[in-house]
Chain A
């Protein structure tokens, strides 16, 4: 390759931390206020069941973590449901199943979620489901599970407003321990798609590109990188 014509970036280490799931790092806005209030009051859940539905990266898992921490409940990724001891879940105050719609189409996972429903209900516990789509739209084969899901109270996370997108942008940079000036935050915010996933993706891309080039994430660098990222369809 001719290095004079193309910038050569180094590959970079993956040094990003797991995102913070602490309650104080959850930003409450109009888009998620109802869900936030509901997880604070599990006794108000009809049949002690609640499904939180929202787009990717909208804060569903964060809300589930906040509730589980407060309630002493356990969080189980839906794809691991067939490898956990369902009976033992009845001893807990509650269970949250993350990415619950992932059970659709898997006989073993659907069976496990149905048994979990039954065990939690018998033992008087709470069940929290998170998913991208409302349960009635999941492609569920088991009729009993389908009816139980249909009877689950659903709270949807709304489209993120500017205030929430800005808070998310700051949180994602903070999770990666990058201190970005407010002017740079505003600059980025004005140039990206208005979705939670876009915010997460752009932070990951900017982090990687600035690390690879050994340059701090200033507004000038963000401008340069967003322009290149735009050409590759990111922004």
Chain B
């Protein structure tokens, strides 16, 4: 195997591979990236057995072949090379070493056989459709704020994808819930698709999709089945084994009967929350909102850290209402609504329904904290 690749390409691809490989695995070869060179292109494949990334780049191939090499070392080498250089790869089968050269720098790296590398077979999914990358990005980046990090509840550590029917008709819906907040983001169901199996895409795969496939607003081909989800463009693909488990039936968690309405500039509120939360006690992380006569008062009162309050002009005409939220939840949600208004629908003793005035297809539900 022998080819040359631009440093910028290698840096990007090796970075993807390095973020996927497991840090500690009983299978040493999983710490490696599989490099394959064939007619005019080189591909770099890395996996942790659950999530895989395969990125291809056009290169001049002098000799086809394949080998595997440490993903972290390759990423580090690419990171330290000057930008505008070409890097040559040459695998010597006799010594089983991969030689990487750029200018006068030479690395000879140990390899493991490409034949031993575990590749997840990508048979066609039960459902295949396409979405523009920017739409997929909107779905995933908004839904993922509610993904749980709790590894004892694995079924909450991903984004659920399913077809359903909303008030606007058949939709593809992404949902995430962590016990105290729920995010739902929808887009029109692609033409010709009626059923989509309910799958939970692990957050690691979601993050890889958002970075690896971010190469302009090209079409992303999505192939879903019960045991494999593949998201691919012409030059890269991310595949994942969906998380086993039953995603919560979240419809009943949406407080559609909330009648108290508050509308506020999302950016102004986010900045105010951030300022006031400076003195929030680490354990409670809560912020109190009091709304009355077109005004919203945000306050924190923590014995150890002090107190803070700030007031905003808002659109609010109901009677005085007070509620407490985690400031982290508020910041995450408001941060998705730049240059827009956030609409809160509230009710005594109920979760808050929060929507973006500019995006009817994204809904957030946040549980209050005890006052």
Contacts and interface: CB of A to CB of B under 8 A. Distances in A.
A7 B305 CA distance: 14
Contact of B302 (A2, A10, A12): A2
B303 A13 contact: no
Contacts of B154: 177, 179
B155 A12 contact: no
A212 B150 CA distance: 12
Interface stretch (B26-34, B57-65, B121-129, B278-286): B278-286
A216 B151 CA distance: 7
Nearest to A15: B248
Contact of B246 (A10, A17, A212, A214): A17
B80 interface: no
Contacts of A14: 253
A2 B301 contact: yes
A55 B331 CA distance: 47
10 contacts: A2-B302, A4-B303, A7-B283, A8-B284, A11-B351, A15-B250, A15-B253, A180-B152, A214-B180, A216-B151
A15 B304 CA distance: 35
Given A4-B305, A15-B177, A10 B150 contact: no
Given A3-B284, A8-B369, A211-B178, 5 more contacts: A10-B326, A10-B370, A15-B177, A177-B245, A212-B179
A11 B369 contact: yes
Contacts of B286: 3, 8
Interface of B: 148-155, 177-180, 182, 245-246, 248, 250, 253, 280-281, 283-286, 300-305, 324, 326, 351, 367-371
A10 B180 contact: yes
B253 A9 contact: no
B253 A212 contact: no
A214 B285 CA distance: 12
Interface residues of A, number: 28
A215 to B, nearest CB: 7
B152 A13 contact: no
A212 to B, nearest CB: 7
A217 interface: yes
A108 interface: no
A14 B253 CA distance: 8
Contacts of A4: 281, 284, 302-305
B362 to A, nearest CB: 18
A217 B152 contact: yes
Contacts of B369: 8-11
Contacts of B285: 8
Given A1-B371, A2-B301, A10-B326, A214 B178 contact: yes
A5 interface: yes
Contacts of A212: 179-180
A contact patch SS: loop
A150 interface: no
Contacts, number: 96
A161 B280 CA distance: 47
Nearest to B182: A13
A12 B180 contact: yes
Given A13-B351, A215-B150, A177 B246 contact: yes
Interface string A179-215: 1100000000000000000000000000000111011
Contacts of B371: 1
A8, A9, A178 — most chain B CB neighbours (10 Å): A8
A210 B245 CA distance: 19
Interface in A1-49: 1-15, 17
B351 A3 contact: no
Nearest to B324: A8
Contacts of B324: 8
Contacts of A214: 148-150, 178-180
A15 B178 CA distance: 10
Q: Which 9 A-B pairs have the closest CB atoms?
A: A4-B303, A211-B179, A8-B284, A15-B248, A3-B284, A10-B180, A4-B302, A4-B304, A11-B367
Contact of A177 (B155, B303, B305): B155
Contact of A13 (B179, B284, B302): B179
A104 interface: no
A208 to B, nearest CB: 9
A11, A15, A214 — most chain B CB neighbours (10 Å): A15
Contacts of B326: 10
Nearest to B246: A17
Contacts of B153: 177-179, 216
B182 A3 contact: no
Contacts of B149: 214
Contacts of B303: 2-5
A218 interface: yes
Contacts of B150: 210, 214-216
B137 to A, nearest CB: 26
Given A2-B301, A179-B152, A215-B150, A13 B281 contact: no
A177 B368 CA distance: 24
B180 A3 contact: no
Interface string A95-134: 0000000000000000000000000000000000000000
A211 B180 contact: yes
A13 B151 contact: no
Contact of B368 (A3, A11, A180, A217): A11
Contacts of B367: 10-13
B306 to A, nearest CB: 9
A215 B148 CA distance: 10
Contacts of B280: 3
